[in-house]
């Protein structure tokens, strides 16, 4: 596959080849302020080794303040391959993923993680490329009391951890409609609420509106014991306005559980969630699944190429970005992984005070401009050489 | 200075140290689709060598279409140091910069450049850190018929080139007010119009509202012989809504003339203009000045440190990004430079068709959301554990 690179991660490659002095410059420019390495417990490292997943930890501290104590949170993000072949019985596939995730959450717990997020539609293969309704719709379940939510509630209580569980939701109370949903489960075990994918791709193999439509739930932010969190699901990361509204609603950490492949997407991966962290002065956690998924029946991709049974390699590379623009290295492009990052949420307001993006944002201007832009008779503001003079009377 | 790195550019360093196979992967992931190298005329290369500036050329072609011929444009971006000390007479400083730019535009012309953009406030040192009104306000001039506009009009006619000239403007007809303005001069020599800085920084050494305020001219797009262009000046690059409105008004190339220094800013530099190219499916040209500018009188920076006479190193690194997320290498961090990029504007619509970001943007939703957000009684959409149940009735 053209997009399957030889390297395991950019950062590994830079560390290997670039000499010390230059490496420091390169890392400073490409990754921002140097992060602390978290000293993770040996038992967690052993768990990772025994169960064949990567584990990494970084610290993103803030400046000490006089009036506020630090607001320390450990977030965990998990990327993983599917466990069983896509032809296995649905329940077996889902149970195998539950088991895999339990191992990884166990390690996260040993690392003191407070809030964890799994990848998009984590209980299933990302089968939407097939355009087959059966059997894939059978993975859908209730956000409130489906087996995966129950499973996560147990984990949340056991580990005193907030869990974000992105699933294919079936809204049984409202016409059995499907949604691409993230369920937010409090560390008390309660379902705090849910949020749905706001922007639905019609690109490449994924016209996901074959299965589910755009969310009508707005941009909810969930107030947890460890800060205000939100979830921008997958393709929503391409839309700066979507990121903005989570910020306006007060989010301090926005998770972006995703499933993305390919040469078209990978160069964008390090840009978008990080730009959102900068523009909105909050933390972002970009999570991508990993591996190649093969399906029982062949399908075409609308690109003139012959039918095939997989749509390419999910390149992993999950990372966390801070309001000051610094970011962690990415997890592997090829392996399951757990990334643990210790944040101080005080950094959000500190960066807001420093850069002043919110203060200088001119929301009133854009509220008015957008209102004009959506009118049927909207005329773009274009200056032509032989047209009327530019209006500069203001 | 902490922020003055040893390396001349990231790309030079990667090319030097990373072996071939891995380098291809690294470049693909960090820079996107491989660009063509433009074969620049020898006489232009000689001019650059003789006059000590870097010159580089790249091609960003689009896919051939049946119904539209390619829409090829060569854009030029120039980054440069000031020429004379900041203590020289104002007219001498400005004239020296005119001469320097004329050399570089001459080379651009030999390279077939159609549209060129200079750096922010290019006729002067970036003196706004001093907070002194005199003599710096004397650099301000009329956008319509000041000496710099007249100079650019001559160049534009001589070389049949659209010129974007970012200056400190004095609006003599309206109370002598100062503005941070870009004048757009048609290849016919006519002043096509002007646009002003929409977002004004109050950060670090730069509370630029000491000198000029936020633009009231909106987000004009200029229809030129070589496409629809717009100018997002400097700090406006931190605001995704600003980039968005140029896109909504139809821009195909957005220039971002800037002046930025420091460890805080440099990691953001490669992210923001490139994210805008992706999110809006247009080309962006990020231009930063280069070098360290020393001022006659010392000033403090609001950071508790002793007074000093410079505020750090402008790190250059100007680059061009395409709608598909690919980007050119940056110009040097240390030298004057001319970057020539041959674009096919057809790529904008091709990427819009492919990714569908505009189609899936849901502007109506954000027009409504922003209108709510700017109301005095706006309440953020927050879900609390013991608060009322989340409203999911829609």
Which pLDDT score, from 0 to 100, does residue B394 have? 46
Which pLDDT score, from 0 to 100, does residue A372 have? 97
User: Considering the domain boundaries, does residue A279 fall inside one?
Assistant: yes
**Of residues A6, A271, A367, nearest to B271 (C-beta):** A271
**Contacts of residue A66, Cβ cutoff 8 Å, sequence gap at least 6:** none
B364: which chain A residues are within 8 Å (Cβ-Cβ)? 374
B285 min Cα distance to partner chain A (Å):
16
Strands A162-171 and A177-185: what pairing? Answer: antiparallel
Give the pLDDT mean for A47-74.
Answer: 98
User: Considering the domain boundaries, does residue B389 fall inside one?
Assistant: no
Q: What's the Cα-to-Cα distance from B210 to each of B125, B130, B201, rounded to whole Å?
A: 16, 10, 10
| Cα–Cα distance measured from residue B74 to residue B343, given in angstroms and rounded to the nearest whole number | 6
A380: which chain B residues are within 8 Å (Cβ-Cβ)? 221, 248-250
| Cα–Cα distance measured from residue B44 to residue B159, given in angstroms and rounded to the nearest whole number | 14
**Structure tokens given for B368:** 């409504």
B28: which chain A residues are within 8 Å (Cβ-Cβ)? 5, 263, 266-267
User: Considering the domain boundaries, does residue A20 fall inside one?
Assistant: no
A357: which chain B residues are within 8 Å (Cβ-Cβ)? 238-239
Q: Which domain holds residue A316?
A: 35-295+307-372
B42 min Cα distance to partner chain A (Å):
32
- Give the tens place of pLDDT for each residue, A156-183: 999 999 999 999 999 999 999 999 999 9
**Of residues B199, B223, B383, nearest to A360 (C-beta):** B199
User: Considering the domain boundaries, does residue B153 fall inside one?
Assistant: yes
Number of domains present in the structure of chain A: 1
Q: Please, where are the H alpha helices in B249-324? A: 266-280
User: Residue written as tokens 């535009």?
Assistant: B105
- Give the tens place of pLDDT for each residue, A261-316: 988 899 999 999 999 999 999 999 999 999 999 999 999 999 999 999 998 999 99
Strand ranges, E, within A249-326: 253-258, 283-288, 290-292, 313-315, 319-321
User: Residue written as tokens 């801070």?
Assistant: A322
Give the pLDDT mean for A66-80.
Answer: 98
User: Considering the domain boundaries, does residue A390 fall inside one?
Assistant: no
Q: Are B202 and A359 in contact (CB under 8 A)?
A: yes
* CATH value at residue A43: 3.60.110.10
User: Considering the domain boundaries, does residue A42 fall inside one?
Assistant: yes
- Give the tens place of pLDDT for each residue, B291-340: 999 999 999 999 999 999 998 999 999 999 999 999 999 999 999 999 99
- Give the tens place of pLDDT for each residue, A208-228: 999 999 999 999 999 999 999
Chain centroid to CA B72: how far?
21
Least confident stretch, A21-25, A284-288, A372-376: A21-25
**Of residues A14, A22, A390, nearest to B6 (C-beta):** A22
User: Residue written as tokens 């954000």?
Assistant: B366
Q: Which DSSP state fits B34?
A: P
User: Residue written as tokens 């921002």?
Assistant: A32
Name which of A139, A191, A151, A168 is nearest A259 in CA terms: A168
| Cα–Cα distance measured from residue B102 to residue B165, given in angstroms and rounded to the nearest whole number | 13
Percentage of chain A beyond pLDDT 70 is 98
Percentage of chain B beyond pLDDT 90 is 94
> From B366, which residue of chain A is nearest by alpha-carbon distance?
A241
**Contacts of residue A9, Cβ cutoff 8 Å, sequence gap at least 6:** A317, A329, A330, A331, A332, A333
Is B219 within 8 Å of A250 when comparing Cβ atoms? no
Which positions of B are annotated as active-site residues? 120, 197, 234
ipTM of the shown complex = 0.94
| Cα–Cα distance measured from residue A297 to residue B393, given in angstroms and rounded to the nearest whole number | 38
Q: Within 10 Å of residue B68's Cβ, how many Cβ atoms?
A: 12
A13 min Cα distance to partner chain B (Å):
8
User: Considering the domain boundaries, does residue B7 fall inside one?
Assistant: no
Which pLDDT score, from 0 to 100, does residue A90 have? 98
In this predicted structure, the answer to whether residue A46 has a pLDDT above a threshold of 50 is yes
**Structure tokens given for B53:** 């500036």
Phi-psi region of B250 (alpha: psi -120 to 50; beta: other; left: phi over 0): left
Which pLDDT score, from 0 to 100, does residue A392 have? 57
Which residues are bridge partners to A183 per DSSP?
A165, A194
Tens-digit pLDDT profile for chain B (394 aa)? 334 457 899 999 999 999 988 999 999 999 999 999 999 999 999 999 999 999 999 999 999 999 999 999 999 999 999 999 999 999 999 999 999 999 999 999 999 999 999 999 999 999 999 999 999 999 999 999 999 999 999 999 999 999 999 999 999 999 999 999 999 999 999 999 999 999 999 998 999 999 999 999 999 999 999 999 999 999 999 999 999 999 999 999 999 999 999 888 999 999 999 999 999 999 999 999 999 999 999 999 999 999 999 989 999 999 999 999 999 999 999 999 999 999 999 999 999 999 999 999 999 999 999 999 999 999 999 999 988 777 654 4
| Cα–Cα distance measured from residue B129 to residue A210, given in angstroms and rounded to the nearest whole number | 55
Q: Is the peptide bond before A106 cis (omega within 30 degrees of 0)?
A: no
Signed CA dihedral, B64, B65, B66, B69: sign only: negative
Which pLDDT score, from 0 to 100, does residue B387 have? 81
Question: What is the DSSP secondary-structure string of B308-340?
Answer: BS---EEE---EEE-TTS-BPPP--SSS-EEEE
**Structure tokens given for A311:** 């749509």
Strand ranges, E, within chain A: 36-37, 54-60, 72-79, 115-117, 162-171, 177-185, 191-196, 202-203, 206-207, 221-224, 227-231, 253-258, 283-288, 290-292, 313-315, 319-321, 337-344, 382-384
Give the pLDDT mean for A97-101.
Answer: 98
Which pLDDT score, from 0 to 100, does residue B388 have? 78
User: Considering the domain boundaries, does residue A3 fall inside one?
Assistant: no
Which pLDDT score, from 0 to 100, does residue B392 have? 57
In this predicted structure, the answer to whether residue A204 has a pLDDT above a threshold of 60 is yes
């Amino acid at each position: 596959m053209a997009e399957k690179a030889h390297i395991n991660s950019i950062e590994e490659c830079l560390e290997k080849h670039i000499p010390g002095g230059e490496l420091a410059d390169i890392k400073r420019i490409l990754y921002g302020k140097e992060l602390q390495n978290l000293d993770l417990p040996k038992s967690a490292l052993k768990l990772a080794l025994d169960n064949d997943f990567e584990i990494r930890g970084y610290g993103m501290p803030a400046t000490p303040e006089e009036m506020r104590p630090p607001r320390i949170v450990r977030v965990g993000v998990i990327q993983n391959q599917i466990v069983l072949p896509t032809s296995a019985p649905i329940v077996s596939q889902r149970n195998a993923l539950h088991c895999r995730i339990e191992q990884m959450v166990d390690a996260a717990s040993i690392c003191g993680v407070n809030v964890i997020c799994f990848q998009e539609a984590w209980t299933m293969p990302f089968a939407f490329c097939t355009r087959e309704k059966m059997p894939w719709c059978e993975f859908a379940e209730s956000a409130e009391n489906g087996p995966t939510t129950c499973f996560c509630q147990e984990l949340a209580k056991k580990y005193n951890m907030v869990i974000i569980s992105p699933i294919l939701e079936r809204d049984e109370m409202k016409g059995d409609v499907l949604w691409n949903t993230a369920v937010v489960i409090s560390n008390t075990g309660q379902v705090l609420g849910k949020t749905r994918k706001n922007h639905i791709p019609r690109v490449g193999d994924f016209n996901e509106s074959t299965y589910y439509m755009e969310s009508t739930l707005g941009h909810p932010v969930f107030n947890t014991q460890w800060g205000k969190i939100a979830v921008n699901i997958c393709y929503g990361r391409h839309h700066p306005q979507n990121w903005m509204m989570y910020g306006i609603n007060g989010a301090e950490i926005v998770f972006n559980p995703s499933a993305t492949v390919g040469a078209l997407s990978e160069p964008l991966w390090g840009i978008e969630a990080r730009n959102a962290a900068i523009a909105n002065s909050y933390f972002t956690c970009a999570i991508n699944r990993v591996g190649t998924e093969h399906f029982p029946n062949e399908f075409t991709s609308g690109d003139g190429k012959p039918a095939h049974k997989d749509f390419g390699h999910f390149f992993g590379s999950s990372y966390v970005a801070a309001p000051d623009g610094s970011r962690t290295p990415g997890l592997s492009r090829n392996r399951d992984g757990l990334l643990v990052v210790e944040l101080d949420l005080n950094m959000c307001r500190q960066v807001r005070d420093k850069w002043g993006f919110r203060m200088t944002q001119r929301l009133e201007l854009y509220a008015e401009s957008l209102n004009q832009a959506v009118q049927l008779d909207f005329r773009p503001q274009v200056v032509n050489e032989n047209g009327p003079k530019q209006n500069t009377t203001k």
